[in-house]
Structure formats: C-alpha cells, structure tokens
Structure 1
Amino acid sequence: MARKRRNYKPLTALAIMAIAALVAAAVTFTNVTYWVVNATKPPAMKYPGADTTVAGGNYIKVSYYYDSQNALNITGISVIGFTGDPTNYTNALRLCNYYGYGPITAQLIYRGTVGSTGYERYVKAFYVYFTNPYVQPGAGFIDATTYSQSATVTINPGSCVTVGVYLKIDPNIPMNLANGRTILATYQVDVQFTAQ
C-alpha cells in the first residue's frame, strides 16, 4: 500500500506567519520609578562686583528679577560707556561657588541682542570676560568680530571669580542719547555652570 504524501506547505506558511507576528508584536511592561524632588540654592550664584560701588554706583548697577514668562531668574547689569573712549569695568560681576561641594566650571555664552532700541549701532564693542580680556578669551563683540563663548574657569568651593566688561561707544552718538539714562542696547550673556 502506497503511503499518501502529506502537503506541509500550508502548515509551513502558517508557522512563518505566526513567528513574524510574534517578532512584530511589542511587549509592554511597567517598572515603577519614584522621582523625589527637593530644592536648594544652586551651587554657584552671581553677585554684584566691586565696581558697583565706584563713584557711588553711578556707572554700573546690578539688579535681579524673575521673568515669569520664561520662568527664569535674570541678573540685570546696567553699565555706562563713555563716548569715544574705551571703557573697561574689571569687576562688574562675581560668580561664587558658596553652596557647591566640589569645583564648578563657568563659561560665558554670548546670545546677542534682546529686543531693539534702534540705537544698537552706536555700541561698537560689548565684551564680557573673566579676569583679563587680553589673556583669556571672553564673549560678545568688538567692532565686526563676534565671540560666541568665553574660555572656561574653575571656581572652587568657597571661592569667586570676577567678570569684567569692555565697552566702546561711537564718539558721533547724538548728545541727547549720551545722557547716561537712555538705553542704547540690551545684550544677553548666559553664564553656564557645570559641576565637576
């Protein structure tokens, strides 16, 4: 008696489709994590520099405010440049590591103009730097050259570094704008801290 040959092709095709379905299927499982959020002061903070006391604080002021639209604490530094004469404040701001447990690096990042007054063209240089503008690169612009970020500095626990600012104002500015009260430009410079 002859054996009947069985056709396994449909079974093979079905097995291949089942394996493909298993491979394509996603396995979902849940592993619970709890994220506990606490608050403390940041390891590094900004404070007014010593130059804010020169001439009774008439030439440079530091203030703080909260920008609720962007949920950021903003440090505002108002500086007066002298027309036609380069002006250099060497200690406009202090960056201090009072609350950190280890060294922190800091870098200045120039972001550009905030809004417009229409008088920005009279500012020929705005350059912020750590310690010495000629040794350690800063951030901002001098004439047509833009420096997007400074070198980094290390701030050890309990220590501070100073930030200076170099300004140059066009000597041909209209005198009604050179009154010490008219805002010529506002520039954003971020201080980026990195804990080591």
Structure 2
Amino acid sequence: MEIAELRRALDDVFDQAVVYHAYTNYMRDYEVIVYATADPRTGIQPAYLRYLFKYWVQVEASTALSLDTWRRSVDERLTDPEIGPDLDGYVWAVRWQALYPGAQLIAESRRAQEWAEQVGIDFHEVRIQMNGHNLNLIFSELEVSHLPSATRPTWSPRTGRAPVCSLRARSDGRRRSRRVNLARRPQRPKAGQGR
C-alpha cells in the first residue's frame, strides 16, 4: 500500500465507531473493526470495515481517559448496559468508542525505519486515538476490507449488543461456520484445574 493510499484509508474512518481491536487468532496481524456510517441522505449504507495491520511488530495500548475520569469510572456498574448510562463516569458498557481525534501515519518514524532495516521490508507507524484507548502500531502492510454479511459483527452502537461474528473458513475444500463472541476471551483454568 502506498503512503497516500494508507493516509486515505485512515482518513476514511475518522470519527467512526471502533467496535473491536485485538490481535488476530493466528497472532501475526492486528485488526481493528470499524462500524462506518454516513449521513442517511447520501444513500451510503452503514458497513463494518476490517483494518488488518499485517506483520505487526509492535503494538502499544494506553488509556485515553484523564485521571479524573478514571477515578469516576472504576464502579463495576459502568460495565452494565442497563445501569451504566445513568452513572457518572466513563460508561464502558457502550462497547464501542469513537475514532476521534482519529488515526494518523507517523511520518518518517524512526522506530518503523529501524524495523525496515533489520527485517528488509517496509514498515510504518500509525497512531490511533479514540475516546477510550490510544494505540500505536508498527506494521508492514494495511489491508482494508468490508466484512461480508456472513462475517459482519452483529453488534451495533444502537443496540449495544456484544460484538459477535459468524466466521466462515475453508478447510479441505469444505465450508465450516462458527460463531465467535468477540467480547469474551477464553478463561484461564483456575488453580488446580489444569489445562
């Protein structure tokens, strides 16, 4: 992806809703799922976009909240979509965050240049600023795709439902489907339960 194309892809999702971000299940890439909308008068339908940062070598995540906001946001009830919106603090239960102030390419990133020299392929650094988290990613390629209806998260900013994807994968020429709840992580076994 050319630099101008990379910048355009990042600008395209300014102030949209990030509904999920994490390492892919095969751990080489990092994905950000964006729910993109436009003014209804444009006729452009809302879409789920997958921003796949390929060959990532460094991801740094930090809070975007101020200390004062954090002090008011430790109440566990703020994770409950029924109770949280009525409380004072950051409502974690909304399960999405605004991509604002946005994502930008770090021009002539020293860290990306060092990785490029060591590995022998181009690397880039992107800063993604949201209203809950900030991310810095160093990666080689960006792949942007529309999630087809079979893989589109069923979560919506309007309903507040947990992001769930139905994934279709080809294995030995046959199709198989599975549903993955993106809001839940596998739990580690408790002490004494083994693996």
Do they fold alike, i.e. is TM over 0.5? no
Larger Rg: 1
Return the structure number with greater strand share: 1
Superposition TM-score, scaled by structure 2 size: 0.20
Return the structure number with greater helix share: 2
Superposition TM-score, scaled by structure 1 size: 0.20
